[in-house]
Chains A and B, each alone.
Chain A
Amino acid sequence: MSQSPAFVLNVLETPEDPEGSQEPSPYDESEVHDSFHQLIQEQSRWVAEEGLELQQRQPETGALGASGSDHETMLGPEGAPVYSMATLRILASMPSRTIGRSRGAIISQYYSRTVKLRRRAGRPQLRDMGRSARPSLRLYDLELDSAVLEEEEKRGLLVKELQGLTAAQRDHMLRGMPLSLAEKRGLREESRPPRGKHRAQWHRGLLSCCDQLRDSCVLASHNLGLALLSGLQALMPWHYALKRIGGRFGSSVLSYFLFLKTLLAFNTLLLPPLLAFIVGVQAAFPPAPTGPVPAFTGLELLTGGGYFTHSVMYYGYYSNATLNQPCASPLDGSQCTPEAGSLPYSMPLAYLFTLGAAFFITCITLVYSMSRSFGESYRVGSTSGVHAITVFCSWDYKVTQRWATRLQHDNIRTQLKELLAEWQSRQHRRSACGQLRRVAVLGLVWLLCLGTTLGCTLAVYTFSELMIKQSPVSAEREAVLLLLPLVVCLLNLGGPYLFRILAALERHDSPVLEVYVAICRNLILKMVTLGILCYHWLGRRVGTLKDQCWENFVGQELYRLMVMDFIFTLLDTLLGELVWRLFSEKQLKRKGKPEFDIAGNVLELIYGQTLTWLGVLFSPLLPAMQIIKLLLLFYIKKASLMANCQAPRRPWKASHMSTVFISLLCFPSFLGAAVFLCYAVWQVKPSSTCGPFRTLDTMYEAGKVWVRRLEKAGPRVSWLPWIHRYLVEDTFPIYLVSALLLAVIYLNIQVVKGQRKVICLLKEQISNEGEDKIFLINKLQRVYERKERSRAHEEAARASCGLRG
């Protein structure tokens, strides 16, 4: 990579110091690190040959002298002596000063980067880096060869190197270059392989031909993807809305709306398989009606019962037979005409497998997006350096409105003040008494919150038992069924406000911790309530609705919960934002608008999505309802935000928050729904009067029956029963997979620990090199001073000789 040129330091033309100083000259000192020694030698020889750098550097050195604090800080608190011109010349041409300064330097830097990219891929081995290697030198790989290339030659070299890369790598390299667009365009045009050269490249071998084909395919698909994306963006009606929200309220509030978009995407992913394989097929082959269909009254939209009970919406409508069968056994006693080319469609199997596949795809997508979000937002060592990050990364360039920018100024000022206060408070340690008091208050508040949660849980349980006693509910009193969802939603609405009041008692050191604690408490309340409801449905209702269709009932309960949740979200928006703003403006005469509660709103979204996932087994059209609900919610929340709210005052790291949101969506929400569904499929006996699994002991048995039938069918498909017997029914593979997963997690943790250690070592190395640099510059300065003094002595001696002589 870097050669080690041999050259002479031409400073040492004079013999050793006449004053007999104890200090050894740089050339004699064996302690000097190789890299700087060679560097100084080479640079000084170059300077002696060229001497042109001085003109270019004059204004810079002048500027350096003017902002003299630079040099002073470099040497320490005391003022530094004025450097001689030779020292300044060498300082000015140090590699760290030429990086990025001129186009020539950039081009040569990227040329060497491209060379490295072509020669080896991947991270450089640590053992290749010598102890003396300065990390930045290795990265930028200066021109250590003596021939100073013209800019045009450098550009030609760069173009040649770029031609050797693949198209994707070339694009990536060009995109990262800090040159102007016109130059980048020129480089890209020149480095694209021209058509005439095809025959010449054919001689290089088949391998490069395949490479080219692959490159052009990748490029074409990439272009197509970009075109589709831009087309999609043009179609997306929310692009301008999101821009307005980001411009007025910043990235943190925008993260809520982006999360809403993500949820919409998940539901849109879930719905088509259900529509195609379950709902559509059953709608095409409707079963015979079992009884009189009740008339449509408006109440069905709220309760989900009545007219909707015997429709595609609920589990009970689906038949348990094979549809579209060229019939061998007439089920309903009528004559059946076998149709040629008809495809038998087993409804129970389709129901089970479609749901399983849809959930599996959702799980994979969730885990993938969560891991990608983690990868983007967490870095090793990202908790330190908070001041630097606040100063450089907290100004949001998206914000464009005048009052919003004023708010940003205020936010950043508050943030910096809080950081300073935190640092100062850490300097003065709190007394033991104060610590104890803080811990006691914290414990008390947590106890009160958990007590409130327990109280809410008991209330829901008692009410659900009451509702069981009320049943069976006649058709006229269906509105009574709305009471349980009403109670649950009221508790979900009131709980967070109570927690906020209790949280005002405790005082946290960091505001981010407050937010996390609030999210935690709200989440516990919601999840425990849902848990009680799940027990109520699968544990109690199954028993009490023995001869009726309990799955329909559970589906209707979830529908009611979703509708009530939506109504209460609207109420919360209306009361919490609109009415509060009017009240505070008119009555309290306060100017400030209410803050947009990001955490609370996001938890609402997660709750709604959990309900959808819980209910999809019993009501396959629930995702469609959720999509409509999310669309309406977007517009309502946006309107309320624009009219009534202001951005939150607390610092919100938007990227961390979106990671937290999506991991909350994955872990309590999706996992809980998956556990509930697994229990329902594996353990609960389906009702015997309705649905696709009415004759079986568990829903999963449909799959087992099919596998048994396959076994009997013949040896051609014997691999499927084999897989089923040895991989699915046997528990050993599950243990194996879990053990492998744990091993992979452990390895990753160790790798991250190792990387942290390496970062510490490299940081030490950097600071050592910095000290070395200062030491060497001082030495240089002393050498030059000595030289000046000896020259002055000589001239004085000569002058006095000349006078005498």
Chain B
Amino acid sequence: MPELKDNPFRQRIAQVFSEDGDGHMTLDNFLDMFSVMSEMAPRDLKAYYAFKIYDFNNDDYICAWDLEQTVTKLTRGELSTEEVSLICEKVLDEADGDHDGRLSLEDFQNMILRAPDFLSTFHIRI
């Protein structure tokens, strides 16, 4: 699929949208994925799936380890470890509402509400 060939999160996308969770997608899963990533999908739906994509260990929370994985994949490993941990700390400071050290789905959705760009970036044109 050319749209996802170079996406750093392509494995996570495949895992999230596949039925058995290990990346093998049926046609229905494929349609689901493009329906969520299309222009017409509502913001909450996109936020829900984005949360699942960034939750690397599938525990329904984005913890510090998940954040580190995300930042590393975003920058292709070119930031130093201190910088990565500093960024994760600041992200948790900003987005963690109940101060339990990780982001729940509500924290994530709350943050997405404040980012009007999300709808245009979390979007694949077919």
Give A contacts to B, CB under 8 Å.
60, 63-64, 67, 69-70, 73-74, 96-97, 99-101, 135-136, 139, 172, 175-178, 180-182, 242-243, 246-247, 251, 376-379, 381-382, 384-389, 391-398, 400-402, 405, 409, 412-413, 416-417, 419-420, 423, 653-656, 763, 766-767, 769-771, 773-774
Contacts of A656 in B (CB 8 A): 116
Q: Given the complex, which residues of A lie within 8 Å of B14, measured CB to CB?
A: none
Q: CA A669 – CA B42 in complex, angstroms?
A: 34
Of all A-B residue pairs in the complex, the 8 with the closest CB atoms, nearest first, are A770-B98, A73-B101, A405-B6, A766-B97, A413-B75, A388-B95, A385-B94, A387-B90
Residue B100 at the chain A interface, CB threshold 8 Å: yes
Question: Contacts A388-B91, A770-B98 hold; do A175 and B45 have CB atoms under 8 A apart?
Answer: yes
Contacts of B28 in A (CB 8 A): 180-182
With A395-B121, A398-B121, A417-B83 known to touch, is A387 a contact of B116 (CB < 8 Å)? no
User: Are B64 and A376 in touch, CB under 8 angstroms?
Assistant: no
Whether A397 lies near B37 (C-beta < 8 A) is yes
CB distance from B58 to the nearest CB of A (A): 8
Nearest CB of chain A from residue B7's CB, rounded to whole Å: 7
Task: Please give the residue numbers on chain B whose beta carbons come within 8 Å of chain A beta carbons, in ascending order.
Answer: 2-3, 5-9, 28-29, 31-32, 35, 37, 40-42, 44-45, 48-50, 54, 57-61, 63-65, 67, 70-71, 74-76, 78-79, 83, 86-87, 90-91, 94-95, 97-102, 104-106, 108, 111-118, 120-125
- Residue of B whose beta carbon sits closest to that of A658: B120
For chain A, what secondary structure do more than half of its interface residues adopt (helix, strand, loop), or is it mixed? Answer: helix
| A402 neighbours in B (Cβ, 8 Å) | 5-6
In the assembled complex, which residues on chain A have CB atoms less than 8 Å from the CB atom of B3? 397, 400
Contacts of A377 in B (CB 8 A): 116
Known contacts: A178-B49, A392-B50, A395-B74. The answer to whether A382 contacts B60 by CB under 8 A is no
Q: Verify A392–B9 contact, CB threshold 8 A.
A: no
Residue among A70, A139, A378, A381 facing the most chain B CB atoms (10 A cut-off): A70
Q: Is the CB of B78 within 8 A of A401?
A: no
State the CA gap A378–B113 with chains docked (Å): 10
Evaluate whether A420 and B83 lie within 8 angstroms (CB atoms) in the complex, with A176-B42, A397-B37 already known.
yes
CB neighbours (8 Å) of B32 from chain A are 180-181
Verify B48–A178 contact, CB threshold 8 A: yes
- A–B pairs, 22, beta carbons within 8 Å: A67-B63, A70-B101, A74-B100, A74-B102, A97-B60, A176-B44, A243-B125, A251-B121, A387-B94, A391-B67, A391-B74, A392-B70, A396-B121, A397-B7, A400-B2, A409-B74, A409-B75, A416-B79, A767-B98, A767-B99, A770-B97, A773-B100
Interchain nearest-CB distance for B44 vs A (Å) = 5
Known: A63-B59, A394-B117, A398-B121. 12 other contacts (CB 8 A): A67-B57, A70-B63, A181-B35, A385-B94, A393-B121, A393-B122, A395-B74, A402-B6, A409-B78, A413-B76, A654-B117, A767-B97
Among A182, A389, A653, chain B packs the most CB atoms within 10 A around the CB of A389
One of B2, B45, B108, B116 near A178 (C-beta < 8 A): B45
Question: With the chains together, A246 CA to B39 CA distance in Å?
Answer: 14
Chain A residues near B97 (CB-CB < 8 A): 763, 766-767, 770
User: Given A182-B28, A378-B116, A655-B120, are A384 and B79 also a contact pair (CB < 8 Å)?
Assistant: no
Residues of A within 8 A of B5 (CB): 400, 402
Inter-subunit contact A397/B123 (CB<8 Å): yes
Cβ-defined contact, B7 with A99, below 8 A: no
| Cβ contacts under 8 Å, B100 to chain A | 73-74, 770, 773-774
Residue of B nearest to A655 (CB): B116
Tell me, in angstroms, the Cα distance from A402 to B48 when the chains sit together: 28
A182 — which chain B residues lie within 8 A by C-beta? 28
Structural contact, A64 and B59, CB atoms closer than 8 A: yes
- Taking the closest CB of chain A, its distance from the CB of B112, in whole angstroms, is 7
Least Cβ–Cβ distance between A78 and chain B, in angstroms? 13
Q: Could you tell me the distance between the alpha carbons of A654 and B101 in the complex, rounded to whole angstroms? A: 31
Q: Which residues from chain B contact A416 at a C-beta distance below 8 Å? A: 71, 75, 79, 83, 87
- Contact residues in B for A69 (Cβ distance below 8 Å): 63-65
CB distance A387 to B91 under 8 Å?
Answer: yes
Which residues of chain A are near B59, meaning CB under 8 Å? Answer: 60, 63-64, 67, 70
Contact at A397–B116, with CB atoms within 8 Å?
A: no
Residues of B within 8 A of A136 (CB): 104, 106
Contacts of B64 in A (CB 8 A): 69, 73
Nearest residue (CB) in B for A139 is: B106
Query: Could you say which of B35, B101, B120 contacts A251, with CB atoms under 8 Å apart?
Result: B120
Q: From the candidates A100, A381, A385, name the one contacting B48 in the complex (CB within 8 A).
A: A100
CB of A766 within 8 A of CB of B98, answer yes
Asked if A412 contacts B121 (CB within 8 A), the reply is no
Q: CB-nearest residue of chain A relative to B98?
A: A770
A180 to B49, CA, bound (A): 12
Asked if residues B116 and A180 are in contact (CB atoms below 8 Å), the reply is: no
Cα–Cα, bound, A381→B113 (Å):
10
What B residues does A97 contact at CB under 8 A?
60
Alpha-carbon distance A398/B119, docked complex (angstroms)? 11
Q: Do B94 and A655 touch (CB < 8 A)?
A: no
**CB-CB < 8 A to A388: which residues of B?**
90-91, 94-95, 111
Contacts of B118 in A (CB 8 A): 392-393
Which residues on the A side are within 8 Å of B94 (C-beta)? Answer: 384-388
From residue B6, how far is it (CB to closest CB) to chain A in Å?
4
**Chain A residues whose CB sits within 8 angstroms of the CB of B108 once the complex forms:** 392
B36 CB to closest chain A CB, in angstroms?
8
* Alpha-carbon separation in the docked complex, A99 to B105 (Å): 9
Contacts of B122 in A (CB 8 A): 393, 397
Residues of B within 8 A of A389 (CB): 111, 114-115, 117
Does B75 lie within 8 Å of A420, measured CB to CB? no
In angstroms, how far is the closest chain A Cβ from the Cβ of B52? 8
The residue from A74, A177, A396, A400 contacting B45, defined by CB atoms under 8 A apart:
A177
A769 vs B54: C-alpha distance in the bound complex, in angstroms? 25
Cα separation A394 to B113 with both chains bound (whole Å): 14
Q: Smallest distance from the beta carbon of B1 to chain A beta carbons, Å?
A: 10
Is there an interface contact between B86 and A420, defined as CB atoms closer than 8 Å?
yes
Q: Which A residue sits closest to B36, measured CB to CB?
A: A178
Kindly state the separation between the CA atoms of A219 and B115 in the bound complex, as whole angstroms: 32
Q: Which of B64, B114, B116 has the most chain A CB atoms closer than 10 A to its own CB?
A: B116
A393-B112 CB under 8 A given contacts A63-B59, A67-B65: yes
In whole angstroms, how far apart are the Cα atoms of A181 and B50 in the complex? 17
List the A side residues contacting B71 at CB < 8 Å. Answer: 391, 416
Q: A73 contacts which of B7, B8, B78, B102 (Cβ < 8 Å)?
A: B102
